[in-house]
């Protein structure tokens, strides 16, 4: 199992997914795309953003979060949201953890952001959110800092 699993729930912007795929290729993280995508994986924007890294990505397309939970019943899932006060830096990550990010325009469904494993990236009061690919990079490198590459 990879040291880190990145989960994008219903991503909408192909450039973000391409950037995240490149990050996964460079870090050895697995990338799970869950649910309905807001673009085609064959999109020129997705391909351009991921450059020639796509062949190096451990990529998985999954129909639902339930399917992912069933595949990894003992997996530890963390949910990134702006709707909690618990910081991602307060967590002791372990190898094989799943870090779940929601769609760019609406975030994760309420059922996930209410879990005790919901985490946030601190930011200035009054701002809506960070870019998805930036958020994935921030949290991924904290996990890597803790457990190694």
- Averages of pLDDT over each 10 residues, the chain, 149 residues: 88 90 93 90 63 81 96 96 94 96 93 92 87 96 91
How far apart CA 116 and CA 25 sit, in angstroms, is 30
Looking at residue 67, its pLDDT comes to: 97
Phi and psi dihedrals of 62, rounded to 5?
A: -125, 140
Looking at residue 56, its pLDDT comes to: 86
Question: Residue 23 is part of a domain; what is its CATH number?
Answer: 3.40.1280.10
Looking at residue 3, its pLDDT comes to: 85
Looking at residue 43, its pLDDT comes to: 61
How far apart CA 77 and CA 118 sit, in angstroms, is 9
N- to C-terminal Cα separation, the chain: 13
Looking at residue 87, its pLDDT comes to: 96
Note down the domain range covering 109.
4-147
Phi and psi dihedrals of 37, rounded to 5?
A: -90, 145
Looking at residue 48, its pLDDT comes to: 62
Looking at residue 39, its pLDDT comes to: 77
CA atoms within 13 A on the CB side of 141: 9
How many domains is the chain partitioned into structurally? Answer: 1
How far apart CA 135 and CA 123 sit, in angstroms, is 11
Radius of gyration of the chain (CA): 14
Looking at residue 45, its pLDDT comes to: 60
* Helix (H/G/I), strand (E/B), else coil: 32: strand
pTM, whole model, 2 decimals? 0.91
């Amino acid at each position: 199992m990879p040291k880190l699993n990145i989960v994008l729930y219903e991503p909408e912007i192909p450039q973000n997914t391409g950037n995240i795929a490149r990050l996964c290729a460079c870090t050895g993280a697995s990338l799970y795309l869950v649910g309905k995508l807001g673009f085609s994986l064959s999109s020129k924007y997705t391909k351009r953003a991921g450059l020639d890294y796509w062949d190096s990505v451990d990529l998985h397309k999954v129909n639902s979060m339930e399917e992912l939970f069933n595949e990894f019943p003992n997996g530890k899932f963390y949910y990134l949201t702006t709707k909690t006060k618990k910081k991602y830096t307060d967590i002791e990550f372990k190898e094989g953890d799943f870090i779940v990010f929601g769609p760019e325009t609406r975030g994760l469904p309420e059922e996930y952001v209410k879990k005790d494993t919901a985490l946030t990236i601190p930011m200035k009061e009054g701002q809506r959110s960070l870019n998805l690919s930036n958020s994935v990079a921030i949290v991924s490198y904290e996990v890597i800092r803790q457990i190694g590459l």
